[in-house]
A and B are shown apart, each in its own frame.
Chain A
Amino acid sequence: MPALDVLTTVGEVREVWLDNGLKILIKELHTTPLVSVFSWYRVGSGDEPSGLTGVSHWVEHMNFKGTAQIPRDRMKGIVEKSGGMWNGYTWIDQTTYLETASSAALDQMLFLEAQRMSASLFERHECEAERTVIISELQGGENDPEQLLDIEVTATALRVHPYGHPTLGWLQDLQSMTRDDLYGHYRRYYVPRNATLVVVGNVDADDVVRRVERHFGQIPGGEIARHNRPEEPSQLGERRVMLEREGTTSYLKLAYPAPAARDAGFFPLLVLDAVLTGAKGLSLWCAFRGAPPQRKSRLYTSLVDQGLASMVSGAVLPTIDPFLYTLSMTAADGVPLEALEEAALGQLEDVMRHGVTDVEVARAKRQLRARLVFENDSVTNVAHQLGYFETVGGAGYFEEVEDRIASVTVQQVVEAAKHRLNPMRRTVGWFRPTGLRP
């Protein structure tokens, strides 16, 4: 029997806790013959001590490399043979694994996730083979000037908090980390009490509970032993980072300290970002699904429509601890970064001084409401949203999002602009190409 079994009224999500502490979120959606399973672990690069940066992401890779009952070469077939897709990702607060396939394959998917939680092998030669794969992933990202700039700006803006290092880790740590480091991290965090299992799709919730109990019920609950995450000290003055290397295009990035997901200031900043750059998805998964509606946004009209930038985007994402609000711009061909920065900062200063209009805030809120609908358009996306917000916001957070957005006032957005866009607390990053690549 589950330890606790509750049907929440919002969205008809069934919440179940097993005796070992594993939380299960189940939502029946019978619009397709599919089911999506996500295993969420409350561990990410924000939980990594110095010297072990990138360990969470590397552990994620190792969880595709075979378990006690699934040899590595059989792992890929478990879901794919049923026509399913499977993957995983790691970010600053979370590591997640997902499968979406025919609901007839639910047992195989749960078996795979239970094995991942309790019985991954971490064989030494597999860890070594993966070291170079991950370094290749890191170097592939470095080929992209925008990613390079993002890494440098984040590390400059956050000096103390572990959100400051890249999720993939620093190269030196990836070169020196051992199999025991990886396995220790795995055993510490991959326990039922630190996980949420989400099942969404063409299933019967009672049947799901029985199956989950069968696959996960015997796994010991474990204890959660978190590293303390040091608090980021207040920033006292503007910081700058300049990258110069071969390339063709200039990029500008601005970063400001942002509130945590549960901070009262989060939703006003979300609306402010929609005023500045258009509303995008509310989670990491959804934020990059297509460009936002932004043709009327402040920075699009003042930078892109004026020929200074070819692209502008903003990012404020729900996180457990305070992270960053970033604004990214691609300079239009031939436009010097000085001119782009002056125009961008001028716009932000204007918003700080003169505020935003009722019309802008109303439009931003309508856009965010539409995005909430668009983001829940498949069993995979619904399962992601349930698990993501549970992991970074805690129980009940996702259900509140729509109302929290609706209740943001113009005055709150104006205050957010004054408070959050303080020049003394910004980090400015430039990528300037040293020569044109023909």
Chain B
Amino acid sequence: MNSATLAKGLSPTRVVLDNGIVILAQESRGTPAVAVNATFHAGSVDDPPALPGVAYLTRRTIDRGTVQRSATDIADALDDRGVSLRVAVARHTFTISCVCLTEDFSDILALVADIGRHPMFPEEEIDKRRLEAITSVREAQDDPSRVAVDLVHAQLYGASHPYGRPIKGTVGSLEAIGREHLVGFHNRYLVPSALRLAVAGDVSPSTVLACSARVFEGWRGFDRPQEPVAPPPSRTGRSFRAKHMPGKSQADIGYGFTSVRRLDPRYNAYWIMNNVLGQFGLGGRLADNIRERQGMAYYAYSTMESTEAEGPLVIRAGVDPNDVERAIEAIDAEVQALRDGGPTIDELEDTREALIGSIPRMFETNESIAEFLQHAEQFGLGLDYDRRLPALIRAVTMDDVREAARGVLDPGRAAVAVAGPRP
């Protein structure tokens, strides 16, 4: 395997260790660097319902001391090698990742494994990172774009659904989380059977496997039964929430629906539909209308998060407070038009070609290769997914996309939110 092979697509190696850890390795010799991505199948959906933010505070604290290494030791190991360790939590994933020089790979993999296996969660570190987390929550409360999206999510899912709870938690919940919650989260969810390690870069798969076998040897943990996330509550009408934020210059609009699960057979049709609505050509039909024709906004686009349950499809635009009504009318018009008429033949063909053509760009960096491998593993899409994807995209018909538009786009069931100053 060499770099020339990568030009034709990925050819990853996949091995499952005895303790259930999945190892994915893709060699790529472009730069003398390696991306390491250790993702546990655990996330904010595993937070106790009354205590959102446990996974998030775990993410902020897990790399601040292990049984063998103090926080200072870890800082030395990272900073001396120029490595910036990222720990991230999403609804279903908990990821420890970084990029390192090839010469540092085995040391850094050992460090990542140690952090995943033996975190100590020292009380003084919890207090420091709690304060950072609270500051981050307060900053989000002051950001109209994040407030608008949070208000959409709250309307779509409600507080009782795991997707309706804030990933970062609240100031109150963060203050109430103690060391026992973090230790409990680690013991219960960050276990070997939930771990997938993806390594991409200037290192051979055999080296990755040998190093992995060494650093994960002897790690045992209980299997956690995977509890499927319930579907979101069904929506019968349109809803609206506003947050007045004086002192801001611009108002942010959020406008959303729930879409389909990633493994729903309709997923690719929804993907194409969303691309037409709010992605193609720097913002799709939404940007054509709101930005290009009406000059109302710098950004107008839609994103669709398809994951293990029905994730949100959210339209966003930032506009002058005087233009809020006009912008929402424009969104309603575009949503209704795509629902009623579907895409044009040209739009469908352009989008198909754009998505197929964009596949090699997913592998531009070692980090993006590792992320692609994680996504394919999370949803069981197969080691050849990048090669099968063009045919899957071509198989989506006009009727499929029209049905997707009719299935999700309905102004009468939209969750609408505005955050910003009054006109």
Chain A residues packing against B (C-beta within 8 Å)? 29-34, 72, 76-77, 80-85, 100-102, 105, 128-140, 142-145, 202, 245-249, 278-279, 290-297, 304-305, 307, 310-311, 330-333, 363, 366-371, 373-374, 376-381, 433-434, 436-438
Contact = CB atoms under 8 A, between A and B. Distances in A.
Contact of B135 (A132, A144, A294, A333): A333
A97 to B, nearest CB: 13
Nearest 10 CB-CB pairs, A to B?
Answer: A83-B357, A370-B82, A76-B281, A246-B247, A295-B75, A137-B298, A139-B249, A129-B295, A367-B82, A310-B135
A330 B297 contact: no
In the complex, which range does the number of interface residues on chain B fall in? 35 or more
Nearest to B147: A437
Interface in B127-159: 127-128, 131-132, 134-136, 138-139, 141-145
B86 A373 contact: no
B83 to A, nearest CB: 6
Given A140-B299, A295-B79, A296-B76, A373 B32 contact: yes
B246 interface: yes
Contact of B249 (A131, A143, A247, A368): A143
A245 B175 CA distance: 27
Contact of B7 (A31, A247, A368): A31
Contacts of B319: 136
Nearest to B356: A83
Contacts of A310: 131-132, 135-136
B201 to A, nearest CB: 9
Contacts of B86: 290-291
Contacts of B29: 31
B365 interface: yes
B135 A143 contact: no
Given A83-B353, A249-B138, 17 more contacts: A30-B4, A31-B4, A82-B354, A100-B361, A136-B296, A139-B320, A143-B252, A249-B139, A291-B86, A293-B78, A310-B136, A330-B139, A333-B131, A333-B135, A371-B82, A373-B101, A377-B365
A273 B131 CA distance: 25
- Name the residue among A131, A143, A245, A377 with the largest chain B CB count within 10 angstroms: A143
Contacts of B280: 76, 80
Contacts of B248: 142-143, 246
Given A136-B250, A374-B99, A296 B79 contact: yes
A296 to B, nearest CB: 4
- Name the residue among B143, B247, B252, B294 with the largest chain A CB count within 10 angstroms: B247
Contacts of A144: 143
Given A31-B7, A332-B135, A379 B360 contact: no
B82 A369 contact: yes
- Name the residue among A138, A307, A381 with the largest chain B CB count within 10 angstroms: A307
Contacts of B84: 278, 290-294
B135 A31 contact: no
Contacts of B127: 307
Given A85-B361, A291-B86, A80 B354 contact: yes
A177 to B, nearest CB: 15
12 contacts: A31-B7, A32-B364, A83-B356, A129-B294, A129-B295, A136-B296, A136-B320, A143-B143, A143-B252, A294-B79, A310-B132, A367-B82
Nearest to B366: A377
A339 to B, nearest CB: 14
Nearest to B355: A83
Interface in B309-361: 318-320, 350, 353-361
A80 B295 contact: no
Contact of A81 (B31, B354, B361): B354
A287 to B, nearest CB: 13
Contact of B282 (A76, A140, A143, A376): A76
A82 B82 contact: no
Contacts of B31: 373-374, 376-377
Nearest to B128: A307
Contacts of A84: 357-358, 361
Contacts of A135: 320
Given A80-B354, A133-B298, A140 B281 contact: no
B174 to A, nearest CB: 10
B399 interface: no
Given A133-B298, A246-B247, A332-B131, A83 B7 contact: no
Contacts of B32: 373
B89 to A, nearest CB: 16
B186 interface: no
A248 B138 contact: yes
Contacts of A138: 249
Nearest to A436: B138
Given A77-B281, A133-B291, A293 B83 contact: yes
B69 to A, nearest CB: 12
A72 B359 CA distance: 26
A202 B135 contact: no
A437 B29 CA distance: 50
A295 B144 CA distance: 31
B106 to A, nearest CB: 16
A270 to B, nearest CB: 14
B28 interface: yes
B412 interface: no
A97 B293 CA distance: 23
Interface in B17-45: 28-33
Nearest to B358: A83
B80 interface: yes
A366 B293 contact: no
A134 B8 CA distance: 41
Contacts of A331: 135
Nearest to A132: B295
Contact of A437 (B99, B134, B245, B252): B245
B6 interface: yes
B223 interface: no
B357 A101 contact: yes
A363 B247 contact: no
Given A31-B28, A136-B297, A293 B139 contact: no
Given A31-B29, A83-B360, A377-B33, A367 B128 contact: no
Contacts of A369: 82
Contact of B6 (A31, A76, A105, A377): A31
B187 interface: no
Contacts of A437: 141-142, 245
A145 B135 CA distance: 14
B363 interface: yes
B141 A438 contact: yes
Nearest to B28: A31
A376 B280 CA distance: 28
A81 B357 contact: yes
A419 B4 CA distance: 50
A331 B296 CA distance: 34
B292 interface: yes
A423 B248 CA distance: 33
Contacts of B356: 83
